């Protein structure tokens, strides 16, 4: 029997053309760059079959359907076909595109019910991840003094994808003041093996409750491996306290401290050694054999009655061809995007047209040449515009139009699509299949994948979830635009709407904090900053904004805690060293604020003047000086708005002359003149700490709003004395 593996080149026996132990089958493989024949994204299944050395295979196993493009025409293959989903948690859209494309589907144990719920059948479970005996080997005994790293994690630090693990990494990094903690990414080959062999404990947290790579690689390198309690697959391999250690959210630090205690070093070593012996039988070759033990009986049944297979009975040729284009759109192979466009152009009708709009917008996003980006963006937007013009009440057309507008960042189209989405009434028949978010692995992309997985059997809920996700992104764009323009109430309204639609979003939470800060609602701003940081402690701009706000409001305790946390993260995670300079500056700023906080606070009055007319600046200053008490109990903050026809020095000189002419020197209040330009998001700081604001002709609607948000009284000039006395 001849078995072809697509995109599974990590088994040494097959790479070296050796037989897989226990099987007499011949294995052939191909990948993006290696294999028994050269694969290109435009190869049809017939071309793949023809390229196989020795003739067509009996079984084809396609690895990672969520990332790797299916060959066009695979649904018509004459052999038995198997589709394997590895990261099914990031494959919701792909899973919903490939029904009827293969004879059998495989994934880890937690994913089997998910695939079945999404309509894929039959499904088998398998251990998909393992260790490479040649690469993941123990070179340092578990009890050796050379193991100088107490706690180690090497893995993906995309915290939008690994959002459940991110808070745990912050907690581990906080131990760096007591232990040698290393959290690394982008380490491969011999460097990976060397680093793992320096670890006493390897920390692991799966993303799907699966037996992932690190669960096997840690023990293979002789480290005690920590895995989360409740993992649905590891219990079939490991035994808690015997071959690995389980932790939960409550006891993580306690468990780490216990096994790092010198009094428990022998126990730690014994578990690590037992784990090392266990995983010797869990290589990728071992797990492929176990997968084949489940595939081969299915193959035998198929041979006896191949016409009864789900692939033969599900969907027509045109539908499956378009589904191939959909699957390509969800893959991480840019070369497939123009190929998907070619498929869409072969078909007429609404379904193909909507899909092509998204394909073109993704193509434009990936294009390198500005001219190509402009051309493809224009084509995508024009086609999407035509679709809503022809179907003005169709929610699916509006949704795709919104997705295109967001992908190419066309502000006018974003505004138009938001109105259309709000007016359209979605039903289960109006769910647009083309992915609505770019394949960028950000939080919106991840959330959409989860929508397709969670609501595949509930069309109405899926429609509502996708609509909320789209509107959240649209409203976030609005909020950002309003904030930049100083339309602070509009910005806040838009961001609060976005939060209701996507409450778990870190980026929207950070944006909400910025909007509240711009309004001077500093307590609300800090709540949103800290909530976002609880979800993603590594959102550096949010952390910097939170520290800045704490310093601006003299919240020394919060600033100190945020900075201490920041420093522990940097100490544990080398890849974040680039933030050290910002951290150092903020530590210096904290010292300055602490020194200022010791000084007494003088009551402050704020007056805003404009040089458009003498009535707007001379008269308010004169009235204030003449009408206030002569005891000098308040500091006047005099905000002179920049004027295109008057320099800052001229403004200050003119003010000084008016003050001098108004009253004797001993009767003039202390005055601070503020003339520099102030962005709308920082204008609230003019009002911070003021006991009252003088109501002048130059006081704008925004100023009145900012005073109201900070609960500061507005006072006409004639009543200054009573406020000063109070």
- What share of the chain in percent tops pLDDT 70? 94
Q: Where are the beta strands (DSSP E) in 47-166?
A: 59-62, 80-84, 104-107, 123-125, 149-154
Per the prediction, the chain carries an average pLDDT of 92
Gap between the Cα atoms of 576 and 579, Å rounded: 6
Contact 285, 11 (CB under 8 A): yes
pLDDT at residue 721 above 60? no
User: What pLDDT, on a 0 to 100 scale, did the predictor assign at position 313?
Assistant: 65
Whole-number pLDDT of residue 632? 55
Q: Is the pLDDT of residue 42 over 70?
A: yes
Residue corresponding to tokens 């039903």: 427
Is 11 within 8 Å of 284 (Cβ atoms)? yes
Residue 599: the pLDDT is: 57
Helix (H) or strand (E) holding 360: helix 350-366
Residue 17 has pLDDT above 70, yes or no: no
Q: Please tell me the predicted confidence (pLDDT) of residue 305.
A: 87
Task: Report pLDDT for 243.
Answer: 98
- What's the mean pLDDT in 142-147? 95
Beta strands at 690-694 and 671-674: parallel, antiparallel or unpaired: unpaired
User: Which of 94-98, 330-334, 643-647 is predicted least confidently?
Assistant: 643-647
What CATH code is assigned to 2-129+286-318?
3.40.50
CB 494 within 8 A of CB 478: yes
CA distances from 333 to 67, 330, 433 (A): 8, 9, 19
Half-sphere exposure for 700 (CA within 13 Å, toward CB): 12
**pLDDT for 102-143, tens place per residue?**
999 999 999 999 999 999 999 999 999 999 998 899 999 999
Q: What is the three-class DSSP state of 246?
A: strand
- Render 635-649 in DSSP notation, one character per residue: EEEEEE--BTTB-HH
The number of residues making up the chain comes to 726
Higher pLDDT, 369 or 596: 369
CATH code for the part of the protein at 149-280: 3.40.50.2000
Model pTM score: 0.91
687 contacts 606 by C-beta, under 8 angstroms: yes
| pLDDT interval class at 723 (50, 70, 90) | very low
Cα separation, 617 vs 608, whole angstroms = 8
- In the structure encoding, which two tokens stand for residue 699, read together? 């006081």
Give the whole-angstrom CA distance, residue 89 versus residue 100.
Answer: 20
Measured CA to CA, the distance from residue 668 to residue 660 in angstroms comes to 8
pLDDT confidence tier of residue 309, bands split at 50, 70 and 90: confident
Range from 15-29, 50-64, 451-465 carrying the lowest mean pLDDT: 15-29
Tell me the mean pLDDT in the region 11-28.
76
Residue whose token pair is 């959909």: 326
Mean pLDDT, residues 194-210 taken together: 98
Pairing assessment for the beta strands 635-640 and 671-674 based on DSSP bridges: parallel
Average pLDDT rounded to a whole number, residues 547-552:
97
- What is the predicted pLDDT for the residue at 725? 42
Sign of CA dihedral 550, 556, 557, 563: positive
The whole-number pLDDT of residue 3 equals: 95
pLDDT for 724 beyond 50? no
Distance CA 474, CA 464 (A): 15
User: What are the boundaries of each domain within the chain?
Assistant: 2-129+286-318, 149-280, 604-725
Question: pLDDT category, 23, cuts 50, 70, 90?
Answer: confident
Give the number of C-alpha atoms closer than 13 A to the C-alpha of residue 6, restricted to the C-beta side: 28
As its CATH architecture, domain 604-725 has 3-Layer(aba) Sandwich (3.40)
pLDDT band at 631 (very low <50, low <70, confident <90, very high): very low
Task: Tell which wins on pLDDT, 25 or 11.
Answer: 25
CA 719/CA 726 separation, integer angstroms:
11
Report, as an integer, the average pLDDT of 432-441.
Answer: 88
| 64-78 residue pLDDT tens | 999 999 999 999 999
Cβ(712)–Cβ(694) below 8 Å: no
pLDDT value of residue 648: 79
149-280 and 2-129+286-318 share a CATH fold: yes
Instruction: State residue 671's pLDDT score.
Output: 87
Residue of 192, 8, 222, 216 lying closest to 129 (CA atoms): 216
């Amino acid at each position: 029997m001849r078995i072809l593996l697509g995109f599974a080149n990590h088994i040494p026996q097959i790479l070296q053309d050796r037989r897989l132990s226990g099987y007499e089958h011949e294995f052939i493989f191909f990948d993006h760059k290696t294999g028994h024949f050269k694969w290109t994204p435009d190869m049809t299944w017939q071309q793949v079959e023809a390229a196989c050395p020795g003739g067509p295979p009996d079984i084809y196993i396609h690895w990672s359907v969520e990332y790797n493009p299916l060959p066009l025409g695979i649904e018509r293959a004459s052999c038995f076909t198997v589709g394997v989903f590895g990261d099914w948690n990031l494959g919701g859209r792909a899973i919903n595109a490939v029904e009827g494309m293969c004879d059998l589907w495989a994934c880890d144990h937690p994913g089997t019910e998910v695939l079945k719920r999404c309509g894929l059948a039959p499904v088998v479970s398998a251990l998909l991840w393992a260790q490479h005996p040649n690469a993941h080997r123990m070179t340092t005994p578990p009890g050796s003094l050379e193991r100088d790293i107490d706690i180690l994690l090497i893995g993906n630090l995309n915290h939008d994808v690994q959002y459940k693990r991110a808070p745990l990494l912050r907690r581990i990094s906080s131990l760096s003041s007591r232990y040698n903690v290393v959290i690394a990414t982008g380490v491969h080959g011999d460097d990976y093996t060397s680093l793992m062999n320096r670890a006493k404990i390897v920390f692991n947290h799966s993303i799907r409750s699966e037996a992932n790579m690190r669960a096997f690689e840690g023990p293979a390198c002789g480290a005690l491996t920590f895995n989360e309690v409740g993992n649905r697959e590891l219990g079939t391999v490991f035994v808690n306290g015997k071959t690995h250690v389980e932790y939960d959210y409550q006891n993580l630090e306690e468990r780490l401290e216990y096994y790092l205690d010198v009094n428990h070093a022998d126990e730690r070593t014994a578990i690590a050694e037992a784990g090392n012996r266990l995983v010797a039988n869990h290589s990728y070759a071992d797990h492929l054999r176990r997968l084949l033990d489940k595939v081969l009986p299915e193959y035998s049944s198929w041979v006896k009655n191949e016409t009864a297979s789900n692939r033969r009975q599900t969907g027509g040729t045109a539908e499956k061809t378009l589904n191939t284009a959909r699957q390509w759109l969800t893959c991480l192979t840019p070369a497939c995007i123009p190929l998907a466009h070619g498929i869409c152009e072969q078909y007429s009708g609404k379904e193909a047209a909507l899909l092509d709009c998204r394909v073109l917008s993704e193509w434009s996003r990936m294009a390198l040449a500005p001219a190509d980006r402009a051309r493809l963006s224009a084509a995508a937007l024009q086609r999407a515009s035509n679709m809503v013009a022809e179907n003005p009440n169709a929610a699916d057309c509006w949704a795709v139009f919104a997705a295109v507008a967001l992908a190419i960042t066309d502000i006018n189209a974003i505004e138009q699509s938001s109105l259309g989405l709000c007016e359209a009434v979605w039903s289960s028949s109006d769910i647009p299949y083309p992915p609505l978010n770019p394949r960028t692995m950000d939080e919106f992309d991840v959330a959409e994948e989860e929508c397709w997985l969670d609501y595949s059997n509930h069309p109405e809920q899926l429609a509502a979830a996708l609509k909320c996700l789209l509107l959240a992104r649209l409203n976030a764009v609005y909020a950002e635009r309003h904030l930049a323009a100083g339309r602070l109430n509009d910005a806040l309204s838009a961001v609060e709407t976005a939060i209701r639609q996507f409450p778990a979003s870190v980026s929207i939470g950070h944006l909400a904090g910025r909007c509240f800060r711009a309004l001077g609602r500093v307590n609300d701003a800090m709540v949103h900053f800290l909530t976002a940081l609880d979800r993603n402690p590594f959102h550096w701009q949010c952390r910097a904004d939170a520290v800045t706000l704490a310093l601006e409001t003299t919240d020394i305790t919060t600033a100190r805690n945020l900075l201490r946390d920041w420093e522990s993260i940097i100490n544990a995670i080398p890849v974040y060293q680039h933030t050290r300079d910002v951290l150092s500056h903020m530590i210096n700023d904290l010292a300055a604020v602490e020194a200022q906080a010791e000084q007494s606070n003088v009551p402050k009055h704020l007056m805003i003047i404009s040089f458009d007319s003498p009535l707007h600046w001379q008269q308010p200053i004169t009235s204030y000086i003449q009408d206030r008490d002569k005891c000098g109990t308040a500091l006047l903050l005099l905000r002179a708005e920049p004027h295109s026809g008057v320099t800052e020095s001229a403004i200050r000189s003119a003010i000084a002359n008016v003050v001098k002419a108004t009253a004797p020197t001993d009767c003039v209040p202390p005055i601070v003149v503020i003339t520099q330009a102030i962005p709308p998001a920082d204008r609230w700081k003019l009002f911070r700490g003021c006991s009252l604001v003088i109501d002048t002709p130059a006081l704008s609607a925004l100023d009145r709003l900012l005073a109201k948000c900070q609960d500061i009284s507005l006072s006409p000039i004639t009543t200054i004395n009573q406020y000063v006395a109070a």
